[in-house]
Chain A
């Protein structure tokens, strides 16, 4: 197979730019998503139905529909409504944030509920308030259990951010598509993109392993 490295070299600056956008979009998505997810998750665990019901629907919607559709809805529906016109980067971050919130909400819930009930009962019997129990007993243990799931979500999000190429967010896959269009060749752009994504996710998983080890050593 003829594989033209020179055209990859031509596109290297654009792939570099795209990589920075992929990182920006993914980090923003996961950071904003885990903040939003915290509220959604606690809302879902709430005993009050008017908090629980909307959050449950939110999670069901964002986990039950394709991310691509969510991206199109945000880009062509939500953004024109808010900004009066489309904006691909804002739409990309918003869509990934909303999507990540649904998944991280479940991570929070699973993490907290995985802690044995006896722990909370013991804390209460020591005279701790509900907040103190959460802060000092439940969360420190739960967060340690959430780390692998969070890592997983982050890696998935980095790869999923490639879908925002379809609304022309100038990230890695977008420039791969542009390159494909110019040369009508598939392997050079797509294998290059795959290689960059692999480097990103592989170093990310190494970083997460390190964090996990550190958290468990305490």
Chain B
């Protein structure tokens, strides 16, 4: 009898915890996007977006809350489009796989660069953010460009465009190119002397240098080896969501909402001409 009672209590607690958390998530994200101001007013479906919230300042967790430029950008876009949505932190791998399937999550927002290879597996929104890979080294390093990195130890995050670019320069299978699961750990490797440089997106590097002034790092922009690249929202192949979202992205760029958001997070004006003219 006692055993039965104990297991009943445990089950009850589990149910309360699970449903409690679920309800809270809905409050946070779902209801935010209720403002209808466009042609999709009849669409009452709640679209679920996945993200990998380990990419400050683009997307990160502040306690149990998602924050970052991408998160606020998505909010602005979905409000503009008049669509209901939710965002969940699933991690990078789970995001890629579940967005590919498109059943549980219908979109991904996680500073995903638009590349031709990825276009074979996914649909993208129009470009919404211009980025570039930069090299981060200690002050006074002799590394001046990407080609100087040959024969040096370089840390990157696996699967990022920095990884793709450096693999091309240093060769696939080269163990001097250390591929970490996140940029945070790659940056730590540089701190602890295991790497001579980190290559990552400019937003990440600037943010790290800015928040760690005592570590005396500098960023090197190599415009010849690292071309500009563009982030897009990620959708499964054949998704109808891209068509609904693109006009909204254009609209918030045109009406200044985008510029405001950009200034809030990066302290400078974006070059929106580049975005609108990119491919």
Residues of A within 8 A of B (CB): 13-14, 17, 76, 79-80, 84-88, 166-168, 170, 174, 177-178, 180-186
Contacts and interface: CB of A to CB of B under 8 A. Distances in A.
A113 B266 CA distance: 65
A168 B180 contact: yes
B121 A88 contact: no
Contact of B173 (A13, A79, A184, A185): A13
A175 to B, nearest CB: 8
Contact of A85 (B118, B121, B188, B193): B193
Interface stretch (B33-41, B47-55, B159-167): B159-167
Contact of A186 (B97, B118, B178): B97
Contacts of A79: 192
Contacts of B160: 181
B192 A170 contact: no
B93 interface: yes
B32 interface: no
Interface residues of B, number: 25
Contact of B159 (A84, A166, A170, A181): A181
B121 A184 contact: yes
A168 B178 contact: yes
B188 A76 contact: yes
A87 B158 contact: no
Contacts of A87: 194
A174 B180 CA distance: 9
Contacts of A180: 93, 158-159
Contact of B180 (A17, A166, A184): A166
B254 interface: no
B237 to A, nearest CB: 12
A93 to B, nearest CB: 16
Interface of B: 93, 96-97, 117-118, 121, 158-160, 163-164, 167, 172-173, 175, 178-181, 185, 188-189, 192-194
A181 B160 CA distance: 7
A168 B188 CA distance: 13
Nearest to A166: B181
A74 B93 CA distance: 26
Contacts of B163: 181-182
Nearest to A174: B179
Given A180-B93, A180-B158, A186-B96, A84 B179 contact: no
Given A13-B173, A184-B159, A178 B179 contact: yes
A170 B172 CA distance: 12
Contacts of A14: 172-173
Contact of B194 (A88, A166, A177, A182): A88
Contact of A184 (B96, B188, B193): B96
Given A85-B192, A181-B163, 18 more contacts: A76-B188, A76-B192, A80-B193, A86-B194, A88-B178, A166-B185, A168-B175, A168-B180, A178-B179, A180-B93, A180-B159, A181-B159, A181-B160, A182-B167, A182-B172, A185-B121, A186-B93, A186-B96
A178 B118 contact: no
Given A166-B181, A166-B185, A186-B93, A181 B158 contact: yes
A177 B179 contact: yes
Contacts of B172: 14, 178, 182
